[in-house]
Structure 1
Amino acid sequence: MSENTSTSTTTGTDATAPLRVAVLVGSVREGRHADAVTDWFLGVARRHGGLDLDVIDLAEVDLPLVMPGWGGTPDPRATAALAGVSPRLAAADAFVVVTPEYNHSFPAALKNLLDWHREEWRAKPVGFVSYGGLGGGLRAVEQLRMVFAELHATTVRDSVSLHGPWSGLGPDGAPRDTAVTEGAAKGMLGQLQWWGRALRTARAALPYQG
């Protein structure tokens, strides 16, 4: 479901330029709930305004699980996959991760994407939309916060947590309790925009020394 939903071609680092947000879809399983959850979130994000949204679906990113050692050369499959995804990550001002919770953690495909990149995450904010069971994916988010801290990214405090999406989502894929979930999404996006614009300005003024 990879797509670029940008509605503006504005570039630059001024505070009024739309924030370029890469939305990472973390699940790659067949029959996943990620499609419905992502579509719902994108609808909220478009109404929020001020965002250029680029959806990166990890089910369409064919990265090998084994990375080359220091100085090694990636195989052709990795080179092709990185050529398709790395520039999009580098161009993003901020990220939103849509993730389920698997065994108290997040999907291996998502960790693989994170590990294949370094500078692309640095000094950029990250927000989360999680789902799964009674915990709503919160344990996956807590582990992702530690990983992104190691990658020199900043995670925003508030996140969106969808509890038991198989019963909490309606036929159209939207959460049944739209007042609560949309409020949470708007709160997270507000924080993401503040940090995204502040850090974009800071990176332009002074390169990040990570």
Structure 2
Amino acid sequence: MENTHRLVIVVGSVREGRFGPVAASWVAEQARAHGGFEVEVVDLAEYDIPLALPAESPKYAGDAYPRPAGMAALTSALEGADAFVVVTPEYNHSYPASLKAAVDWHFTQWTAKPVAFVSYGGAAGGRHAVLHLENVLTELHAVTIRDGLAFPNYFTAWQDGRPLDPEASGYAKALLDQLAWWAATLRAGRDAAPYPV
């Protein structure tokens, strides 16, 4: 459908026993029910994402950036996306190294595209991680969405793969409505003229 946007949901944690795939599965279900998206879940645990980076930044190397072959499918998914939802935990008041590495290996894939956040953690619900991610993705010329989803104390706030808060689906719809609006607006802008990086 012309009004459908390609949404990539990124599972940011690769830690053993992580909760991220549970949250991402629920978010994907909400996005499919929303009707405005073609949904793909990208789990960073399935890709080879080295922490060591080449000397030249992807900002300057462009398509010549030497990414490992094991990252090709990840790069393709990010490139083809109209919008993103990043699912992240909070580790030591920030987000996982796996997510930072995935971001740093890419540049134009985020440019002029909207990014929403679903976070989880202890009392803060991952909000510290999101604040850091907003700064990083703004540097890459992405547009971060104001309304996110945060799940404090997720270990007691979810049951059978679903949040216990009856308002959660409504919050997800608000996030997805904003994400769909930005996806349409930014895609039209990208189609009309190259983004001036």
TM-score (norm 2): 0.93
**Alignment deviations for residues 52-89 of structure 1 (CA, whole Å, 9 cap, x no partner):** 11111000111111011127984xxx521231211111
Q: Distance in 2 between matches of 1:55 and 1:105?
A: 22
1:33-72 equivalences in 2 (<5 Å): 33-70=19-56
Q: Distance in 2 between matches of 1:83 and 1:45?
A: 25
Corresponding residue SS for 2:9: strand
Retained in 2: the 8 A contact 1:20–1:91?
Answer: yes
Corresponding residue SS for 1:31: coil
Corresponding residue SS for 1:119: coil
The one of 136, 158, 161 equivalent to 1:173 is: 161
1:5-84 equivalences in 2 (<5 Å): 10=1, 16-70=2-56, 74=66, 78-84=67-73
Paired letter, 1:46:
R
Pair 1:162 & 2:164 matched = no
TM-score (norm 1): 0.87
Paired letter, 2:154:
P
Q: Distance in 2 between matches of 1:82 and 1:54?
A: 16
Retained in 2: the 8 A contact 1:27–1:59?
Answer: yes
Pair 1:189 & 2:176 matched = yes
Paired letter, 1:176:
L
Corresponding residue SS for 1:120: coil
Corresponding residue SS for 1:117: coil
Worse overlay, 82-91 or 155-164: 82-91
**Aligned equivalent of 1:149:** 138
- Tell me: CA distance 1:23–1:73, structure 2 relative to 1, closer, same or farther (3 Å): closer
The one of 120, 137, 157 equivalent to 2:109 is: 120
Which 5+ residue runs of structure 1 have no aligned equivalent?
Answer: 1-9, 11-15
Retained in 2: the 8 A contact 1:105–1:139?
Answer: yes
Q: Distance in 2 between matches of 1:184 and 1:22?
A: 19
Retained in 1: the 8 A contact 2:48–2:68?
Answer: no
Pair 1:202 & 2:184 matched = no
Q: Distance in 1 between matches of 2:72 and 2:28?
A: 25
Corresponding residue SS for 1:32: coil
Over 4 Å off, 4+ runs = 71-74
Retained in 2: the 8 A contact 1:126–1:156?
Answer: yes
Q: Percent of counterpart pairs with the same letter?
A: 48
**Aligned equivalent of 2:118:** 129
Q: Distance in 2 between matches of 1:42 and 1:97?
A: 11
Q: Distance in 1 between matches of 2:39 and 2:135?
A: 25
Retained in 1: the 8 A contact 2:120–2:154?
Answer: yes
**RMSD value, Cα:** 1.5
**Alignment deviations for residues 3-26 of structure 1 (CA, whole Å, 9 cap, x no partner):** xxxxxxx5xxxxx43110111000
- Tell me: CA distance 1:73–1:157, structure 2 relative to 1, closer, same or farther (3 Å): closer
Retained in 2: the 8 A contact 1:162–1:181?
Answer: no
